[in-house]
Amino acid sequence: MSDYRDHIPIVISDFNGLWDRGDRDNTPLDHFSDGENFKFKGSNSISTRDGIGISQDVVLPLTNVKRIYNYPTNTANTLIALVVTAAGDGKIYHIVNLTTVYLILTITGMTDFAFAHYAGRGYISPFKTFDVGGLNVEKGLQNEFLYVYAGDGTAARKAAGSPMSGAMTIANGAAGHTDAGLHIFAFVSESISGYLSAPGQNKSFTTLPLSSVSFGTVQASGSSLIAKRHLVATKVITNFNGDLNGYPFYFVPGATIANNTDAFLNDISFYDQDLLEDASHLTDNYSEIPAGAALSLYHERLCLSTTYNNISLILVSSPGEPEAISQIDGLIDVIPDGNPITNHAELRDIFYVTKRSKTVAYADNDDVPSSWLPNSVDNSLGTSVHGIATVLDSGSSNVDYLFVATYQGISLFNGRYITPELSWKIDNIWGNLFRNDFRLIQMVNAPIQKELYCVMTDRRLLVGNYTNGMDPRKICWTVYRFDQGVNTIAIHNIDEIILGSDIG
Amino acid sequence: MGTFKFKPFAVFTRDNGSENWGQQAVAYPASDAQCVAGANNTNGAAELYHGNTTAASTGKLVFLGRWYLDGSSTPLDINSLPNGFIVNSATFTIKGGNQWIARPGDHYYVTFANRVEEEIPHAASSTYTVIISPVPSSLAVDALLVLRLDKTAVDGNQGFYNLIIDGTYSLWSFTYAIDTPTVNTIGPSNKVRLTSTYPAANALNLNGIVTNGIDNNGNYNALSDTGIAGIGLTWINLAGVTKYYFIPIRYIGIDAVKAGFDPITPVLLEFEIPPALALLIWQDPTIPGWPNVLVTPYIYGDGTQFSGWVALTPLTLTLVDASGVYKLVKDKTNDTLYNQIAPISTSNVKIPNPFIKTGFIGG
């Protein structure tokens, strides 16, 4: 008789993806001990993964693509990508659609970049990996800066800017009014991206009570990106000490040259009580913002960290003015411990800052950033430079949680790291990733597909399907392998998964 | 392939002629690199071998020495030489000043131990003689060097000074060939499989291998072993500069499932052409034949059994630059890839083999 007599068949009706933790023999019957290139269909079926197609229909498609981010401009959902040439130049392209690509920035030595978008503009910070005693450290390029891109195909420009220089002439104008006495006058330039420079062309002048003031030979900025120049002035100074930069400046209402060409501004009348909008803080701003390895937005502020010279410093802009970062009180000094800041993101009104194995929280107290106090969240878990998943086009968190790639696995973070980690089922796969290469990990969350995509250090794509629930035991894992390998990922137009491949 | 140096520390003479100088000579080197041979004394001043013009006066010099492999300063005795040690080429340099005069009619023979003597071509010189191999390939094994001087070799009261013998060697047991692919054109991420070609009894002993698990192909991934340090890949660019990429042993699959670490079974090594290699080559577009690059693999010993290297048949590495921006396309049944090397094109390829393994035994 057959050995199979009385054999009770085992029916497997569910396929719940990979299980790679502990002993291989303990793999549950509804899981796979190994597998690649299968996807989940519905709640319990599998099939071969979807194929990939090209994403550019141009004569010269981008090659050796190192990094891709999604970039929502004011008019479209687009991509921004870094390629590195054979000569070692990092080139950043704005991919508008299948056929339109703009080269917007070239920086020698750039192997990666941080990106944030705000009001349609893109903010770009070039960085690379440094070997510090065998440990890979990502920080901003030396002698490089934050750049801002208008989103229209024009070249990105260095963010912020220097005050205008040169000498202007001041004379009494037509009949008008001022508070008589000595004032210091200056001009503030405004770039096309709205950045206001520090006051320049400072000059003192004693006004008369019944006369307006007129300005001549007002210098134009050397930059073609300056759109306007605003007049600023001090209130009457009674005992002038000769320091043209040492008094508070205020914007003079209505006193703007609406171009960068006119050399005059005539017949300006104002009283000191009209000087309400303070311009003094502009003097403290960075005129050029050093490049860092991480960029994010928090409460309408642009946050940049891990510069070449300080791996523990976060530069935080004024609200709504991403390029206005005070060198005095726009800084957060995360307690130095030898480890660089790797990432930061906003969740539920809190600003979370990570190192590779630490997480710290800050809260906006409506005062300057340097007054924000740190709160230690976790002293063992953190993440890498691309280790926080982006969702759709937001560039950071999901509604109520973050996906964070920690050394223990992919974790859900809602103010604390939830255990067991989401990648609990595939602990061995995650454990085999080379920690020093965690910078290569990049994740996106596609809630439409209910899938989490994670580029791993070995250039494969880890996919977690949470159709059955966002739970470590219910999520289904698979791995996609591609002939060319993938090293970067973005999500585009709600649910289109974009993959980037370099040469090696 | 490795390099060796044979450093004699003693020499014996024996003649089959009629004259009475067939005595044991005692010779001591002034340094490791020298051998001074003289008859009945230690300074080489007296005659070692008095040749004459008669055909009957032939003799043999037997050098006893030590082997130094691959630049090592530690000598190996005869019994410690690796299995299958074979001399590929050797250079005999005798710098005897004016005391050593080679004659056009001289014949020099060399053998190792009791193997067949074979003649070495040489050049005549009034002041010194340099004998350059290649030594015939049949020479093999053992460490005694016998130099037979036929007819007139040394004239008058003269002797050998400063004998240096060095050359290259290889191991039969460390001879590998490319097993797959059967065609020699490959691309990045393609796998290359190597197999030992000499009779299995001489295969490299891999008993000491420590593994960290089995990869998707059922191969062990070695963390360390007692035989192989890794595989080097070299190529030459247009400027004539040799470029080099090294794959450590931990990234090389060893077919231990079949071999079971049994040294009797031929050892199979498998490695993947690393994308990083393609990147290096891509960054150096001055390579002849671009985008095809002739790459020579070398297997390097780790010094425990062998610290030299074995060169394999060159492979033609064809660069396929499939980098670019892609998108996942729902229900698409193949992958479409760029080929970014001019003329730029795209190609449809199959999705790399989907597979699953269940937890069942054999699953």
Q: What is the pLDDT of residues A12-44, one digit of tens each?
A: 778 899 999 988 888 998 899 999 999 998 877
Residues 205-224 of B with CB under 8 A from A: 216
Phi first, then psi: give them for residue B202, nearest 5 degrees.
-100, 10
Helices first, then strands: H and E counts in chain A: 1, 38
- The alpha carbon of residue B347 is apart from the nearest alpha carbon of chain A, in Å, by 10
**Residue scoring higher pLDDT (B217 or A219):** A219
Q: What's the confidence (pLDDT) of residue B103?
A: 52
User: Are A29 and B283 in contact (CB < 8 Å)?
Assistant: no
Bigger pLDDT: B214 vs B235: B235
The shortest CB-CB distance from A483 to any of B324, B340, B349 is to B349
Higher model confidence: residue A392 or residue A461? A461
Q: Is the pLDDT of residue A183 over 60?
A: yes
Judged against a pLDDT cut of 50, whether residue B39 lies above it is answered with no
Please determine, for residue B119, whether its predicted confidence score (pLDDT) is greater than 70.
no
Higher pLDDT, B155 or A474: A474
| Residues B82, B305: Cα–Cα separation, whole Å | 6
At residue A7, the pLDDT reads 76
Buried b (16+ CB within 10 A) or exposed e, B111-136: bbeebebeebebeeeeebbebebebe
Average pLDDT value for residue range A76-88: 91
Q: What is the full DSSP assignment across B306-346?
A: --SEEE---EEEE-----EEEEEETT--SEEEEE-SSSPEE
The tokens describing B192, both together, are 């290359």
Q: What is the mean pLDDT of residues A293-304?
A: 95
User: Which ipTM value was assigned to this complex?
Assistant: 0.90
Q: Is A245 helix (H, G, I), strand (E, B) or coil?
A: coil
Residues of chain A with C-beta less than 8 angstroms from the C-beta of B329: 50-53
Element (H, E) at B221: strand B220-224
Contact A63 B216 (CB under 8 A): no
Output the pLDDT for position B312: 73
pLDDT for A391 equals 80
> Does residue B54 surpass a pLDDT of 80?
no
For the cut 70, the answer to whether the pLDDT of residue B111 exceeds it is no
* Higher-scoring residue by pLDDT: B93, A408: A408
Q: In b/e form, how buried is each residue of B25-61, taking b as 16+ CB within 10 angstroms?
A: bebbbeebebbbbbbeeeebebbbbbbeeeeebbbbb
Q: Which amino acid is at B237?
A: N
Which phi and psi (to 5°) does residue A444 adopt?
A: -135, 150
Report the pLDDT averaged over residues B255-276.
56
pLDDT at A184 over 70: yes
Q: So what's the pLDDT on residue A267?
A: 94
B112: pLDDT strictly greater than 90: no
The reply to whether B333 touches chain A by the CB within 8 Å rule is: yes
**pLDDT value of position B137:** 33
State the Cα–Cα distance between residues B126 and A191, nearest whole angstrom: 87
pLDDT value at B196 more than 70:
no
Q: Binning pLDDT at 50, 70 and 90, where does residue B289 land?
A: low
8 A C-beta contact, residue A412 and residue A452? no
pLDDT at B226 over 80: no
Residue B95 contacts by C-beta under 8 Å, 6 or more apart in sequence?
Answer: B128, B161, B162, B164
Query: What is the structure's pLDDT at B163?
Result: 59
Nearest to B324 among A59, A63, A504 (CB): A63
Structure tokens at A492: 């585009």
- Inter-chain contact A500–B322, Cβ cutoff 8 Å? no
> Which of B221, B251, B273, B323 has the most A C-beta neighbours within 10 Å, making it the best mutation to test the interface with A?
B323
Report the pLDDT averaged over residues A230-238: 95
Of the residues B358, B360, B361, the best mutation for testing chain A's interface (the one with the most A CB atoms within 10 Å of its CB) is B358
Q: Are A402 and A347 in contact (CB under 8 A)?
A: yes
| Residues contacting A369, CB < 8 A, separation 6+ | A301, A314, A316, A329, A330, A331, A332, A362
Q: Do B326 and A503 touch (CB under 8 A)?
A: no
Residues of A in contact with B336 (CB under 8 A): 51-54
Mean pLDDT value across residues B347-353: 88
Q: How far is CA A150 from CA A25, A31, A68, A193, in A?
A: 56, 49, 18, 7
% pLDDT > 70, chain A = 97
Cis before B75 (ω within 30): no
Please determine, for residue A377, whether its predicted confidence score (pLDDT) is greater than 80: yes
CB contact under 8 A, B338 and A63: yes
Assess contact for A450 and A465: CB atoms under 8 A. Answer: yes
CB pairs under 8 A between A and B: 171
CA distances from B25 to A258, A373, A470, B57 (A): 106, 89, 88, 17
What are the pLDDT digits (tens) for A46-60? Answer: 999 999 999 998 889
Cβ separation A52–B278 shorter than 8 A: no
Smallest CA–CA distance, residue B215 to chain A, in Å, is: 11
What is the pLDDT at residue B235? Answer: 81
Cβ–Cβ below 8 Å for B355 and A498: no
Q: A340 in helix, strand or coil?
A: coil
- Window from A117-126, A385-394, B76-85, B196-205 with minimum mean pLDDT: B196-205
Average pLDDT taken over every residue of chain B? 60
- Decide if pLDDT at B26 tops 90: no
Highest mean pLDDT among A48-52, A240-244, B10-14, B348-352: A48-52
What confidence score (pLDDT) does residue A6 get?
74
The rounded mean pLDDT for chain A is: 91
Task: Evaluate if residue B32 carries a pLDDT over 90.
Answer: no
Residue B31 confidence (pLDDT) above 60? no
A106 in Cβ contact with A93 (< 8 Å): no
pLDDT at B182: 55
Residue A375: pLDDT band (50, 70, 90) is: very high
pLDDT of residue B28: 38
Q: Is B237 in CB contact (< 8 Å) with chain A?
A: no
pLDDT band of residue A86 (cuts 50, 70, 90) is confident
CB-CB under 8 Å, B346 with A52: no
Whether omega for the bond prior to residue B188 falls within 30 degrees of 0, making it cis, is no
How far apart, in Å, are the Cα atoms of B254 and each of A55, B47, B103?
39, 58, 55
Residue of A nearest to B346 (CA): A54
Cα–Cα distance, A154 to A103 (Å, whole number): 8
Q: What is the mean pLDDT of residues B192-219?
A: 52
Q: What are the distances in angstroms from CA A149 to CA A228, A288, A323, A432, B299?
A: 18, 15, 12, 39, 51
pLDDT band of B314, cuts 50, 70, 90: confident
- Angstrom distance (rounded) from CA A480 to CA A460: 6
CA distance B177 to B268: 10
- Closest CA in chain B for residue A28: B359
One-character DSSP codes across A126-177? EEEEEEETTEEEEEEPTT-B-EEE-SSSSPPEESS-PPP-S--EEEEEEE--
Residue, of B291 and A80, whose pLDDT is higher: A80
Confidence class of residue B230 from pLDDT cuts 50, 70 and 90? confident
- pLDDT above 60: residue B265: no
**pLDDT of amino acid B58:** 45
Residue B150 forms contact with A (CB below 8 Å): no
Does residue A121 or residue B269 have the better pLDDT? A121
Beta strands in A299-408 (DSSP E): 301-305, 313-318, 321-325, 331-333, 343-347, 350-355, 358-363, 375-378, 390-391, 402-406
Taking the CA of residue A87 and the nearest CA in chain B, the distance in Å comes to 7
The mean pLDDT value for B151-160 works out to: 42
Pairing of strands B315-318, B185-186: parallel
Backbone angles phi, psi at B200, to 5 degrees: -55, -25
- Kindly state the average pLDDT of the residues A402-425: 94
Q: Average pLDDT for residues B320-340, to the nearest whole number?
A: 90
A3/B205: higher pLDDT: A3
CB-based contact B359 A500, cutoff 8 Å: no
pLDDT, position A69? 94
Those of residues 176-195 in B touching chain A at CB distance below 8 A are 188-189
Highest mean pLDDT among A166-175, B52-61, B110-119, B197-206: A166-175
Mention every residue, 6+ apart, whose C-beta is less than 8 A from residue A314: A303, A304, A305, A331, A332, A333, A334, A341, A344, A353, A369
Which residues, in sequence order, are CB contacts of B362 under 8 Å at separation 6+? none
Residue tagged 């990869």 (tokens): B215
3-state secondary structure (DSSP) of residue A14: coil
Distances (CA, A) of B114 to A69, B92, B139, B142, B156: 73, 19, 10, 9, 30
pLDDT above 60: residue B147: no
Question: What pLDDT score does A435 carry?
Answer: 87
